[in-house]
Structures are given as C-alpha cells and as structure tokens.
Amino acid sequence: MIRVKNLTKNYGELKAVDDISFEVKTGEIVGFLGPNAAGKTTTMRIITCFMPPTSGTVEVDDLNIFDNSLEIRGKIGYLPENAPLYWEMNVVEYLEFIMGLRGVGKDNFSQRKKDIIDLCGLGSVTHKDIGELSKGFRQRVGLAQAMIHNPEILILDEPTIGLDPNQIVEIRNLIKQLGREKTVILSTHILPEVEATCGRVLIIHEGKIVADGTPKELQSGFEGKERIYLELKKTVENIESKLKMLEQVEKVEKVATPSVETRGFYIESDKGVDLREKLFNYSVQNNWTILEMRREQASLEQIFRLLTRS
C-alpha cells in the first residue's frame, strides 16, 4: 500500500507538485498520466526517496519516506526517466553490480540474472557495453535493473519509451503479469498503453490530480453525463419530441445519418442513469424499429485533452 498525503514540491517559485493525495493498493497497476511538466517525474522521485518533498509525506505500508528511506528503497524497483546506466560496463557486469547494490545474495546471482535477461529480452546483448546499445535495449536494461531484486513495488517512469512496437507489447504484457502480485505505478504519454495495462488512471495537471478512476469510469462519466446513440428507422411521427418526453432524458440531439431512411440521436441523462432498457421498451411501445443503440464513450485522449488544456 502506498499512501501519498498532501504532497507538495516547490522548485524555487515553481509549484511542481501541489498538495496531491492518493493511495495505491497492493496489486494495483496505476497509470500516471499528464502532459509535459505536469509533475509526474517529481512525484515518482519523492515516492522512491530520491528527493524530499517540500511538505506532505509518502507512506509505504507502515514506513514513511523521512524515517525509513532505506527500507522503502529496498521494497521499490525504480526505472527513472533517464536511467543512469554505466556506459563502460557490459550488460552482465552492470546487472551483477546492481544485484550487489540491491543486496541479492551471491548464491542467487546466476538464477536471478538468467531470469531477468530472459524476461527483458536481453539474451543477444549480454556482453555488449551499455554505451554501444541502441536506445530500446538501454531501456530494457533499465527495466532489468528495476526488477532484478524482485521488489514488491515497481515505479516506472515511461517504461516503453524508445521501444519498438513488438517490444512495447511484450513489456506491457510483462507489466500486466507482474501486476498480479506487485504494485505498479507507471507514467506514460501513450494513452492506449494505459487502456491496455492499467486498472486505474491518475491524471495530473499543473501539479494537481484532476482525475482518478478506472479507464472505464473516466470514459463513461465524461463531463458528468451519460450519452446513448440511438438509430431508428424513419417514421412519420416526430421522434425527437417524443424522446424528449421520456422520463430522465435530459437532452436529445439529432445526428445526421448516411441514409434518409434512418434517424439518429444522442440522448443524454445524468451520470449513473442507464436509459437503454427504457429506450428499448419505449421504442417497442411506439412501434419504432431500433437499428442501433450504444453507449457513447469518450476516448481517454478526449478526456486527457479536456482535463489538461491550459
């Protein structure tokens, strides 16, 4: 369990993180979204004890970042934004170095090394110097160092940046798999990544949390309204005004359809009100033929843009 409480970080005049609070439960995979300069990396650096906050605190289980920073670091695997890799070491030397730092017992070195090399797809570059690796492979080495001591918590700052599409899918699957037993917070700008990987999304904008929920919750409660698209076969009567008379319907908007034989409408209701069954029964009563009915969902991209426009 991670508890972030009233966290604030000032850099001089700039409030990079502004009184944010949230909790992440064990086993959750949380996507940390926000535009450039929103405060994601700053928050992650504080959680991982790389930097103190100006005020507020972070607790990991019953430990806190001020009194127990060593223990907290031991529980966390951290992939920083620019993974500080040692360019003159080769991959195996580097992983052994990190295992030493992370207190992995020497007896476990070879098994752990083998597992992590397989997991991160590093088999073909084990004896290359890190400075010679392509960007994507360096990113994989960064992930390997974050996971090598098998930490309970993973904090990953843009884990798939620089990876090719195949590797992105592999790393996403890996994160999902890890998320069954670990707690993961990852930051990203790639919205489909969040939909594919995260059970929960936090959106941060100008240092404040502006949304917190499952991707589905954020998408369906968009602007606090539910919206249904209904397409009916044309009838002689005025469908729009009849729809407006239906209880709990807040707004009806006509939508152009490709055929003159059909009529399309967006029907809005308050958040949490599902009109589908009512609309079905009403259509049957009125002898209208339903050609299509669906809940409209905003894309995460629309929500992101709406919430983080300056």
- Residues 6 or more apart whose CB falls under 8 angstroms from that of 197 comprise 29, 31, 172, 175, 176, 179, 186
CB 294 within 8 A of CB 304: no
38 binds, among ligand ATP, Mg ion, none (CB under 5 to 8 A by kind): ligand ATP
Quick one: which of 16, 41, 203, 226 contacts Mg ion (CB under 5 A)? 41
CB 189 within 8 A of CB 81: no
149 binds, among ligand ATP, Mg ion, none (CB under 5 to 8 A by kind): none
CB 39 within 8 A of CB 17: yes
CB 270 within 8 A of CB 250: yes
Q: How much is the CA Rg of the chain, to the nearest whole Å?
A: 25
16 binds, among Mg ion, ligand ATP, none (CB under 5 to 8 A by kind): ligand ATP
- Give the nearest distance from C-beta 153 to ligand ATP in angstroms: 19
The alpha carbon of residue 150 and the mean position of all alpha carbons in its chain are separated, in whole angstroms, by 22
Pick between residue 11 and residue 87 the one whose CB is nearest to ligand ATP. 11
- Give the nearest distance from C-beta 108 to ligand ATP in angstroms: 34
H or E element, residue 216: helix 215-220
Q: Applying CB under 5 A, does 48 fall inside the site for Mg ion?
A: no
Q: What is the DSSP letter of 134?
A: -
**Applying CB under 5 A, which part among 32-40, 110-118, 277-285, 292-300 lies near Mg ion?**
32-40
β-bridge mates for residue 263, sequence order: 232
Tokens of 120: 């991160």
Number of C-beta neighbours around residue 16 at 10 A: 19
Please give the span between the terminal C-alpha atoms of the chain, in angstroms, as a whole number: 32
* Residue 102 falls in which region: left (phi positive, over 0), alpha (psi -120 to 50) or beta: alpha
Pick between residue 37 and residue 306 the one whose CB is nearest to ligand ATP. 37
- Residues of this chain that interact with ligand ATP (CB under 6 A) are 11, 14, 16, 34, 36-42, 81
- Give the nearest distance from C-beta 106 to ligand ATP in angstroms: 37
Pick between residue 79 and residue 275 the one whose CB is nearest to Mg ion. 79
- Give the nearest distance from C-beta 193 to Mg ion in angstroms: 15
Pick between residue 34 and residue 121 the one whose CB is nearest to Mg ion. 34
Pick between residue 49 and residue 122 the one whose CB is nearest to Mg ion. 49
Q: Applying CB under 5 A, does 219 fall inside the site for Mg ion?
A: no
- Give the nearest distance from C-beta 157 to Mg ion in angstroms: 6
- Give the nearest distance from C-beta 52 to ligand ATP in angstroms: 13
Residues that bind Mg ion (CB under 5 A): 40-41, 81
